[in-house]
Amino acid sequence: MSEQQLFKVTIDNITIEVAPGTSILEAARKIGGDVAPPAMCFYSKLKGSGGKCRTCLVEVSKGSEKDPRPMPKLVASCRTTVMDGMEVKNITSERVVDARAGVVEMLLINHPLDCPICDQAGECHLQDLSYEHGREGTRYEFQRRTFEKHDLGEYIQLHMTRCILCYRCVFTADQLTNKREHGILSRGDHAEIATYIEKSLDNDFIGNVIDVCPVGALTDRTFRFKNRVWFLKPVDAHRDCPTCSGQVTLWYRGDEVFRVTARKDEWGEVESLPDGTTAWICNTCRFDKKHTGDWVIEGPRKISRHSVISQGHYVGMHKPEETIEKVLHGRKPRLMMDIHSVSQVNQPNIDLSQIEGPAHSDDFNPALPKKD
């Protein structure tokens, strides 16, 4: 059988070869780093996702080897497949940078800036996106739309005001459960995620909507307001679960497990298992197994996103080189601490509590005339 022909694509001046049918976004992710456009709605593990948020816009400066004309408009990289010889600009395009700032401004029109009280803060893709690609202010002057919070079943709360209508949770419910009861109702400014007649979502895998939601619209009711994520230590663990892969991340503070989530990869998506399936986790693992004894601990989780969570995380930490001995030509720093032999300041025989009022240099240097 002949080998599959690969397509050459150049993104931000880096060329790679990918299989036909690969999207520009997935090709860029193979290169990695800043070359990969941000994605708020595309989720590689959910069929049909993408094409909703426009954060992944890129400029195609050369269509293909056969037809080198540039594409006139910016295109959604998650929904545009590569062509052989295609040339794409992401962060190297001023048009893209400007358009992306506009998209962020648009997404933030109705999104409340309540990060200080939002459980998603620290792992919110919209928060990261607005820091990295947004503008400082907004030009929007009208009243923002707001919704009542409501509980989707026992474990999940929907705060629709924060929703950016990415559809990920709808695809998750559709593809992971056999009984989808929620979707996007109405259109335009009135569009909202809702359950039909407030039905509760009690499917075994419905908790995964919390993991796919890029913002704080769907949150874990067993964890809400209990702790900030950057105070927690993520630890990989597994159990022999009859329903799911049982491969999770436990989020500890001290000895207490505050929450259980699926394991996420560098793009913030639930990881794939070695057999190619996705490591979605069941509600029992997520909501009911919150004791260390329920799990076999594997070790600290490496948080690869440049998120604030990784600030409290010690895997792969590089300690700065100790240079003080080098600067002192081999002398140990503790010698420097013995200042009494070279300085009159803070002599141990002077009792500060015996000095009336604030101490002065003449209190330490008897050779100086005393001030009255």
| Interacting residues toward ligand FES by CB under 6 A | 39-42, 50-56, 76, 78
Q: What is the side-by-side order of every strand in the sheet holding 256-262? A: 256-262, 247-253, 233-238, 296-300
Closest to ligand FES by CB, 41 or 257? 41
Task: Please tell me whether residue 168 binds ligand SF4 under the rule CB under 6 A.
Answer: yes
Q: Report how far residue 145's alpha carbon sits from residue 188's, in angstroms, rounded to the nearest whole number.
A: 12
Q: Report how far residue 268's alpha carbon sits from residue 306's, in angstroms, rounded to the nearest whole number.
A: 11
Strands 296-300 and 233-238, bridge-based pairing: antiparallel
Tell the burial category of 187 from Cβ atoms under 10 Å away from its Cβ (0-12, 13-18, 19+).
exposed
Closest to ligand FES by CB, 43 or 287? 43
Closest to ligand FES by CB, 12 or 269? 269
Task: Please tell me whether residue 169 binds ligand SF4 under the rule CB under 6 A.
Answer: yes
Task: State the minimum distance, in angstroms, from the CB of residue 229 to ligand FES.
Answer: 23
Contact partner at residue 212 from ligand FES, ligand SF4, none, CB < 5 to 8 Å by partner kind = ligand SF4
Contact partner at residue 163 from ligand SF4, ligand FES, none, CB < 5 to 8 Å by partner kind = ligand SF4
Task: Please tell me whether residue 270 binds ligand SF4 under the rule CB under 6 A.
Answer: no
Task: State the minimum distance, in angstroms, from the CB of residue 67 to ligand SF4.
Answer: 36
Site for ligand SF4 in 202-261 (CB under 6 A): 212-215, 217-218
Longest dimension (CA), the chain: 102
Angle at 157 between CA 153 and CA 163, to 5 degrees: 130
Q: How many helices (H) and strands (E) does the chain have?
A: 9, 14
Closest to ligand SF4 by CB, 24 or 209? 209
* Given 42, 43, 167, 287, the residue binding ligand SF4 (CB under 6 A): 167
CB within 8 A of 310, min separation 6: which ones?
303, 304
Contacts with ligand SF4 by CB under 6 A lie at 163-169, 193, 212-215, 217-218
